[in-house]
Chain A
Amino acid sequence: MSDRREILNKKQIDIILKRLCHQLIENHNDFSDTVIVSLLPRGKHVARRIVTKLENFLGHTINYGEIDSSFYRDDLRRHSEPIIPHKMKMNISVDDKHVVIIDDVLYTGRSVRSAIDALMPFGRPKSIELLVFIDRRLSRHLPIQPDYVGKVVDSIDSEKVVVNIDANDGDDNILILKS
């Protein structure tokens, strides 16, 4: 039996995305010293929406890249199937820049740990911050906390949080699925 519950609708998601943009601008001013990096595969949808909004607010383009951290994961050879990475779009250096990593859901923290490793070959960043749309705060395996949060969700392991955010402003919602 499967049970689904919508926790955020399209309108609420849009309000949250705008709020996150303002929080980012508060700390990063005109983004001349900042690079936004999304974590593939799912972080890119949230990130692209945020980048589009930021560029509209600021009136100029900002540095943006997409990285895949598959090769740096700690569970690589524990799956029956090899993990096939997604194509990275990372044509910028993060050397001496402030980096904001964006992902959709923060759960155990292991993906973010590997993302930090995957970022290092592109230079030594001045600082790294983390933005997540959903923070499942009760399920962390590592001491990793976000700097910007869309919404905090208290959920148990058997539940799944699904973030449906379209990069092009389509039908958005956030669901909790119970199995």
Chain B
Amino acid sequence: MMNNLSVNHLLGIKYLNKKDINIIFNTADNFKKIINQPIKKVPSLRDVTIANLFFENSTRTKLSFEIAEKRLSADVINFASAASSVKKGESLLDTVNNILAMKVDVVVMRHPNPGASVFLSRNINSSIINAGDGTHEHPTQALLDAYSIREKFGEVASKKVVIIGDVLHSRVALSNIFCLKMLGAKVALCGPLTLMPKYLDDLGVHYFSNLKEALKWCDIANVLRIQLERQDVQLFPSLREYANVYGINTDVLESLKKEITIMHPGPINRGVELTSDVADSHHSLILDQVENGVAIRMAVLYLLSNKSN
């Protein structure tokens, strides 16, 4: 039985194949059991050192990776660029090489520039895990989203998923599109056209400009946050208007006359893309996503740390 991933790094979903994703999911099944045991820790990565390099703010992803690493008994070092020599003008490669000189086996990196992790993987020997690079990819988020769908529905194939909101600035959306399509789901996007990426047809996805039509079509709605910090021009009139046209509330859901599942990668802007009662309702998979995130990241770390040996 071949259990090896086809890659030495997790840089993006587009570098994986379907078999890789299934290996990750099957491994995550076991870790999900372990993190629900009274003793949640296994000694699997006892001799592995992992550096979490966060050149951009993160709460959920950073905590999730750190918990995953600690549950696997790895040694963890954390780095946040705000409090580092990056501010003194050190280059990415120099920073990382200095950290690797301290004998680090795996690097988990978030960076504001698309392709930063790809650049790094070409220049250093450790395994790199991309925890989000600019507007490019966020592979572990897409894996945990697809895993949560698989957990709830049994499989991902043929499920209809609509991704709603700021797709243009979303690495979660791009990774999700690649991952869901690879697993055989049908994917559509919904939101103001100014927030959609160019070349929609090349991605092989439908587009709905009308929220209600999109919700009627789908089994699952993956709702994104409006990333105001990445928008340097005005792409829609106001948050209030966005919430009126594309916000999901109980009235909209009840008018559908069918059950749909709501997902959100977090952080939620309550009252904008989702109202509080929807985010906290039985439709929502949001907290399952967070729990599954730890299991998925444990699986990825476990599988890749074998490669750094």
Q: Would you give the 0/1 interface string for B279-309, flagging 1 where the beta carbon is closer than 8 Å to chain A? A: 0000000000000000000000011011001
20 contacts between A and B (CB under 8 A): A70-B30, A71-B34, A71-B43, A72-B42, A72-B43, A77-B309, A79-B306, A80-B4, A81-B4, A81-B306, A82-B4, A82-B303, A84-B3, A85-B27, A87-B29, A117-B43, A120-B39, A121-B34, A121-B40, A122-B37
Task: Return the chain B residue nearest A74 by Cβ.
Answer: B43
Q: Which residues of A contact B (CB under 8 A)?
A: 68, 70-72, 76-85, 87-88, 90, 117, 120-123
Asked if B44 is at the interface (CB within 8 A of a chain A CB), the reply is yes
* Interface of chain A: mostly helix, strand, loop or mixed: loop
B23 CB–A CB distance under 8 Å = yes
**Minimum distance in angstroms from B16 CB to a CB of chain A:** 15
* Max chain B C-beta neighbours (<10 A), residue from A68, A78, A120, A121: A121
Knowing that A76-B306, A77-B305, A81-B3 are A-B contacts, what are 11 other residue pairs whose CB atoms are under 8 Å apart, sorted by A's residue number?
A: A71-B44, A72-B43, A77-B309, A80-B4, A82-B306, A84-B3, A84-B23, A84-B27, A85-B30, A121-B39, A122-B37
Q: Which of B3, B30, B302, B309 contacts A87 (CB 8 A)?
A: B30
- Measured between C-beta atoms, what is the minimum distance from A106 to chain B in Å? 22
Are A82's CB and B38's CB within 8 A? no
B229 at the interface (CB under 8 A from A): no
B201 interface hit (Cβ, 8 Å): no
Question: Across the interface, do B29 and A82 meet the contact criterion of CB distance under 8 Å?
Answer: no
Find out whether the CB atom of B44 lies under 8 angstroms from the CB atom of A88.
Answer: no
Instruction: Note all chain B residues with C-beta closer than 8 A to A68.
Output: 30
Among the interface residues B26, B44, B309, which one has the most CB atoms of the partner chain A within 10 A? Answer: B44
Cross-chain contact of B2 among A70, A81, A87, A122 (Cβ < 8 A): A81
B258 within 8 A of A: no
Contact partners of B302 in chain A: CB under 8 A: 71, 82
CB distance from B34 to the nearest CB of A (A): 7
Shortest CB–CB separation between residue A93 and chain B, in angstroms?
9
A118 to chain B, nearest CB (A): 8
List chain A residues, Cβ under 8 A from B48: 77
Chain B residues engaging chain A, CB cutoff 8 angstroms: 1-4, 23, 26-27, 29-30, 33-34, 37-40, 42-44, 47-48, 302-303, 305-306, 309
Chain B residues, Cβ within 8 Å of A121:
34, 37-40
Residues of B within 8 A of A87 (CB): 29-30
- In the complex, A121 Cα to B42 Cα: how many Å? 9
Are the C-beta atoms of B3 and A82 separated by less than 8 Å? yes
A78 to B34, CA, bound (A): 22
Quick one: given A84-B23, A121-B37, A121-B39, are A77 and B306 in contact (CB under 8 Å)?
A: yes
Interchain nearest-CB distance for A87 vs B (Å)? 7
Greatest chain B CB density within 10 A among A71, A81, A88 is at A71
Smallest CB separation, B224 vs chain A (Å): 33
- Residue ID in chain A nearest B23 by CB atoms: A84
Q: How far is the CB of A170 from chain B (nearest CB, A)?
A: 23
> In the docked arrangement, what's the CA distance between A118 and B236, Å?
55
Q: Do A71 and B42 touch (CB < 8 A)? A: yes
What separation, in Å, do the CA atoms of A85 and B44 have in the docked complex? 12
CA distance A70 to B309 in the complex (A): 18
Residues of chain B lying within 8 A (CB to CB) of residue A72: 42-44
Contact among B23, B29, B47 with A77 in the assembled complex (CB-CB below 8 Å): B47
CA distance A77 to B38 in the complex (A): 26
Q: Point out which of A68, A77, A81 has the most chain B C-beta atoms below 10 A from its C-beta.
A: A77
B4 to A, closest residue via Cβ: A81
State how many angstroms separate the Cβ of A89 from the closest Cβ of chain B.
10
- Chain A residues near B29 (CB-CB < 8 A): 87
Q: Within the complex, what minimum Cβ distance (angstroms) separates A126 from chain B? A: 17
> How far apart sit A81 and B305, CA to CA, in the bound complex (Å)?
11
Residues of B contacting A88 in the complex (Cβ-Cβ under 8 angstroms): 30, 33
- B42 cross-chain contacts in A, Cβ below 8 A: 71-72
A-side contacts of B33, CB under 8 Å: 88, 90
Measured between beta carbons, the chain A residues less than 8 angstroms from B27 are: 82, 84-85
A59 to chain B, nearest CB (A): 32
- Within the complex, the shortest CB–CB distance from A95 to chain B, in Å, comes to 9
CB distance from B156 to the nearest CB of A (A): 19
User: Which residues of chain B are near A71, meaning CB under 8 Å?
Assistant: 30, 34, 42-44, 302
CB distance from A80 to the nearest CB of B (A): 8
B43 to chain A minimum Cβ distance, whole angstroms, is 6
A80 to B37, CA, bound (A): 29
